[in-house]
Structure 1
Amino acid sequence: MAEHPHDLLSIRDLKQVASPTPEPARIHAQVEACHIKETSNGKPYHELRLSDGSESLTWRVFDSNPLFAQVADLKRSDWIELSAQWVDTGKYGLDPRSAELSALTDDEIATLLHGDPTTSARQRSDFDDILRLTDSIVDPRLHALCQIFFQQHSDRFKRAAAAREYHHARRGGLVEHVAQMMRCAVKIIEAYPQLNRDLLIAGVLFHDCGKLWENNYPEQGFNMPFSIHGEMLGHIPLGLELVNKLWRQLLEQPEAAAWTTLEPANELVRLHLLHLIGSHHGEYQFGSPVLPKTPEAIVLHHVDNIDAKMEMFRRAYETGNELGHGIHERVRPLPANVVTPLAPFQTEP
């Protein structure tokens, strides 16, 4: 591909710098969806959803656009470079003007799959935190269960999203979500030392493990497929099934023979961990088959909700339309528009 004068930005960075004034930039992305639609007066246009693993954007190409015929040849999962003068139109988002479109090379695809430097570095650090905190578990059964999970499912775990839309909805988003939840949980344990630290850390790791099948990405793409297992069961039943399967494998290991005399008993440990998975949505109407009935279950439910909401606020501040000074447009499923938070008080130097 020929050298291009425009800077290469991630979609997230592009959204942060875009304004009503044209901003020259290019992005590398995969076509997540492409549809032919019609305007209110019956004219056709292409609507494409582009993703680079950090964020997504919608690109509408009308029949007056010089790229209209070229875009018609694009298919879902194609890899493209889009270079343009980008304008933030407000209500309709980013608009690439005077755009140029080309295919990515194999090397560019491999680089994109690796992730933008900021996201990639954060997710590596987050995964290291998860390994460190699970390795600090003292209960030999919960410690070994975490290790079996990493041995069998690390690659799939690193690709999974925490959700399809609302929070951490990106490749590797589940690692970010779990790591922040663990860091939050251990701070809460400092304030409430009666909590079972080992159980809570393991519960954070496994609470969304069913999303390794419900919300996962292929090895070579950003298009999250729909899974028949995710559709028919959902991530909570899938998580319960995975932990039971790993637990059976755990008890077949030679060291398990020494665990029969441990207190609390093996079966009670398993049940408490399953309860954390089953109750973490907090209410029947949100998909939990059982309500939280232990202190650890209550803490897990609220830590999960806090981290999800904090990510929604982050996205609203970064990508939501500004309705007025310090007021940003509501991002679903937040209940209202969001307001810029109060800055910390600064003492005089």
Structure 2
Amino acid sequence: MKYIRDLKENELVVSFSSVRSKQVKSKRNGEPYLELVLADRTGQIEAKIWDDVDVWREQVQEGDFIKYKGRVQVYHGSRQLIVERVRKVGPGDQAEGFAESEVIPASEYDIDEMWDKLHQLILSHCRRPCVLQLLRSVLEHNRDKVRSFPAGTEIHHNYWGGFLEHVLSVLESALFFALKYPALDIDVLVAGAVLHDIGKLEELGNPKHPAYTARGILIGHVVLGRDLLRDEARLIPDFPPDLLMLLEHVILSHQGQLEWGSPKEPRTPEALVLHYIDDLDAKMNRVFRLLRDDQNDSEFTAFDRFLGRTVFKGSAPAQSPAPEPVAPPDSGWPL
């Protein structure tokens, strides 16, 4: 199959993807068109269906695996796909190269290796037995979710294994700052790094097609995470109340600012460090994916609405003009 990361301007492509989102929008003349976000394990791309919207809007749903035919365009510096034909994947498509694992965006890192490293770092740096017991219990009770869930639906680490990748990265950074500032409570740092986003395991649904649950929309991952922490700590005899309060504060304040949805601003050294680490890791994940996926010829990427800026791409080697794309065979078509 042709991966989204490899799509080039003017290329006519037949391939497979998953549908991350679907919206019906209006053209300038008032007629409807369909805007999709298609994804595979290498990334995602915005796609548009201009014609026969009433037909396609019923046949294609969010979360579907599809086969599509379309041409790649560059609009305002970003690639988009103009879809000509689309249908849901059928049993015979495996012979044509379809595999579910290929159309689900996933971390570039090995899940087992990240999982093992997370446990090793926890074991080697936790000092209080009750904290080690707490973290082991949380990870064991949520093993499958921790290993598969994204860390979000769109802004950062929004792919299979993204939650684990983000948590491990935050933990590694927290340990760096624990050496830089030895007065920090390393147990609070380690536990905070592992647990700060744990409520996302309830805030989000199916990791193959991440979307917000009702509890996620009505309560949110910050409070859901605090509740999960309390439930787990309650199972540990004589868990120190003051330590639990500090861990609760880390979770409740990790987004840093009230306008970002944080119920509390950080008021302990550990909470402040974890807020900045969390924010930095999210932003750097966004920056590097933006640099990786940008296809325009400018020195700067297209404007990113989440970062609120363009990003300088640096000097890139000159490339020869791409040959005119050759239309792929119509194998498997018409629908």
TM-score by length of 2: 0.80
1:146 counterpart (127, 135, 138): 135
Cα distance in 2 for partners of 1:54, 1:18 equals: 11
Q: Is the 8 A contact 2:9 2:74 kept in 1?
A: yes
1:8 alignment counterpart: 2
Question: What secondary structure sits across from 2:197 in the alignment?
Answer: coil
Aligned to 2:72: 86
Helix, strand or coil at the partner of 1:289: coil
Q: Which residue of 2 aligns with 1:134?
A: 122
Aligned to 1:188: 177
- Whether 1:330 aligns to 2:330 is no
Report if the CA contact (8 A) 2:65-2:103 is conserved: no
User: Which amino acid letter does the alignment assign opposite residue 58 of structure 1?
Assistant: E
Give the number of equivalent residue pairs. 313
Q: 2:142 matched to 1:156?
A: no
SS in 2 for 1:82: strand
Distance 1:267 1:303 in 2: 26
Matches within 5 A, 1:9-28: 9=3, 11=4, 13=5, 17-22=6-11, 24=13, 26-28=15-17
Q: CA deviation at 1:96?
A: 4.6
Query: Structure 2 residue aligned with 1:75, among 54, 58, 61?
Result: 61
Asked if 2 retains the 8 angstrom alpha-carbon contact of 1:149 and 1:246, the reply is: yes
Question: What SS does the corresponding residue of 2:291 show, helix, strand or coil?
Answer: helix
1:243 counterpart = 2:216: no
1:1-349 residue pairs with structure 2 within 5 A?
A: 7-9=1-3, 11=4, 13=5, 17-22=6-11, 24=13, 26-29=15-18, 31-52=19-40, 55-63=43-51, 69=55, 72-91=58-77, 93-96=79-82, 101=87, 103-105=89-91, 111-113=99-101, 119=107, 121-136=109-124, 137-217=126-206, 221-222=208-209, 224-251=210-237, 266-320=240-294, 322=296, 324=298, 326-340=299-313
Q: Runs of at least 4 residues of structure 1 off by over 6 A?
A: 114-118
Match of 2:290, as an amino acid?
A
> Helix, strand or coil: the match of 2:114?
helix
% identity of equivalent residues: 26
SS of the residue 2:17 aligns to = strand
Q: How far 1:188 sits from its partner (Å)?
A: 1.8
Q: Are the structure 2 counterparts of residues 320 and 198 from structure 1 closer, same or farther at C-alpha, using a change threshold of 3 Å?
A: same
Supply the RMSD in Å over aligned alpha carbons.
Answer: 3.2
Contact 2:35 2:49 in 1 (8 A): yes
Is the contact between residue 72 and residue 79 of structure 2 (CA under 8 Å) also seen in structure 1? Answer: no
Q: Structure 1: where are the runs of 5+ without partners?
A: 1-6, 252-259, 344-349
Q: 1:327 is paired with a residue of what secondary structure?
A: coil
Shift in CA distance, 149/294, structure 1 to aligned 2, threshold 3 Å: same
- Structure 2 distance, partners of 1:36, 1:130, is 42
Cα deviation per residue 1:23-57 (whole Å; 9 max; x = unaligned)? Answer: 6462332x334344442224443333323365333
Asked if the contact 1:159–1:216 (Cα under 8 Å) also holds between the matched residues in 2, the reply is no
Aligned to 2:320: none
3-state SS in 1 of match to 2:267? coil
In structure 2, distance between residues paired with 1:154 and 1:71: 36
TM score, norm. by length of structure 1: 0.77
| 3-state SS of paired residue (2:107) | helix
In structure 2, runs of 5+ residues without a counterpart are: 317-335
Shift, 1:86, TM fit = 3.4
